[in-house]
Copies of this chain bind each other. A is one copy, B any other.
Amino acid sequence: MALKALFLNCTLKKSPSVSNTEALIKKVATLFQLKDVETEIIRVVDYKVHFGVSSDEGEGDEWPKILEKIKTCNILIIGSPIWFGVRGSVTQLVMERLDGTYAEADKLNGQYPLYNRVAGVIVTGNEDGAHNVAAHTLFNLTHLGCTIPPNADCYWVGEAGPGPSYIEAGGDKHLYTNRTARFMVENLTFMADQLQRHPITTNLNMLNQQAEEVS
């Protein structure tokens, strides 16, 4: 079955504003398509996503629409801007909402909904902070059930201080970013394919029971 990659663009700016993060996301999406991976890009801020840590925060909350897509993708990629050296508020909002998935574990094996998905991260900023954004975001995603293959991130940042962003600076030509985009696509696809063929067999419920018995 064809693999599906879902990109959550966590820019602060609603459509149709230009998003630098989206420019890099689109580049990566094209690389996935060349490998016959289906792609979909969601700009989170175009939806009405409430603050909260459950999977449904009530009337008017459009997070459930996004979550449904997350649950059926093979490859989840968070696209985040950097603000003040850390991940933007919309990225953080998305992570907080994913907290709700812990409560939706599989009844038999206890695995959370994001198990057997692979995750990557795309970061853009006019300067500094990409490691911080990528590290925390990928780590959080492992807690939620995702597997992270090697070189699963791709970012562009400029020199110290304010300056042009990805598009204006011609980040499109930046070799390091273009190289890591390819590494990311190849490794995420490889690992997603592996997990589709050989899903993780861990029974969290059983392990939890063992932990309760001995400790």
Contact = CB atoms under 8 A, between A and B. Distances in A.
Contacts of A86: 86-87, 92, 131, 136
A210 B187 contact: no
Interface residues of A, number: 84
A200 B152 CA distance: 13
Given A96-B83, A96-B84, A138-B142, A207 B183 contact: yes
A85 B131 contact: yes
Contacts of A190: 200-202
A161 interface: yes
Q: Report how many copies the assembly holds.
A: 4
A150 B150 contact: no
A168 interface: no
A60 interface: no
Interface string A117-136: 00000000001111110111
A202 B174 contact: no
A138 B136 contact: no
A156 interface: yes
Interface in A126-158: 127-132, 134-136, 138-140, 142-153, 155-158
A175 B85 contact: no
B131 A84 contact: yes
Interface in A1-55: 12-13, 45, 51-53
Contact of A207 (B45, B135, B186, B207): B186
B207 A198 contact: no
6 contacts: A12-B51, A84-B143, A85-B131, A115-B150, A128-B155, A129-B131
Given A179-B207, A186-B202, 13 more contacts: A45-B51, A85-B132, A89-B96, A112-B150, A131-B136, A147-B148, A156-B159, A161-B177, A175-B215, A178-B211, A179-B212, A181-B211, A183-B204
